[in-house]
Structure 1
């Protein structure tokens, strides 16, 4: 074989290796570009998700604060209602005690007076006598005297 054929074969092999290296280099650059683009998309998505998470966190904190405020207001209303109920119960107790005291005084002053302001008269149904000893008069037209004429 001639020298020029060997040189030509070597040159062809070198050219083939250069073309292969260039193709691999281009492929590597394209892969790197795709990966960079993918990384950029991931960063953008991460920023969007981060902003959404911050917004949701702020809303959650606001909702929790609103719930705490409403609970505090409800507890305050409950405490006020309980205080009013205790005060009302105390007033009722005082009024009941005062009423009992007044009843006791009235009983001392007029023992035969009933709570509606009339004299108490007990009727003796068997003998037709009242408590004060007077005789009860019965209408002869009314047997038992229970009905009222109009």
Structure 2
């Protein structure tokens, strides 16, 4: 039975990116991995909290993405924080380079997930939030939580 290519299994999520940035657009990219890294990611051993994406020489790279060493990988394990290449079409990379240079945006990884049999990275074209924007988001979240509590108490 073939796996459905539209469903995916979330491996790592970068919640801090949504707190620190306004996400303008999202892109999906493949990632170049070694065999033991794929096995480790399938077990959930991946983190993108401190990672970031750089574009250089017409290629995209993800830096500081931590992939735990595979427990049965012995000599085949790679460095957990090594730089990994992202797989994007040339026109997507050129578009991203133009937008980053022109508008002062940055690329941040949002999610790592398995789609079918492939490991994918969702990255966002992001604009940094100022301190007052973060405070507004926190206030809105607090108000929403309070409304949910009131609604729950009222409907018991």
| TM-score normalised by L of structure 2 | 0.17
Q: Which has the higher contact order (CA 8 A, sep 6+)?
A: 2
> As a proportion of its length, which structure holds more strand?
2
| TM-score normalised by L of structure 1 | 0.17
From the CA coordinates, give the structure whose radius of gyration is larger.
Answer: 1
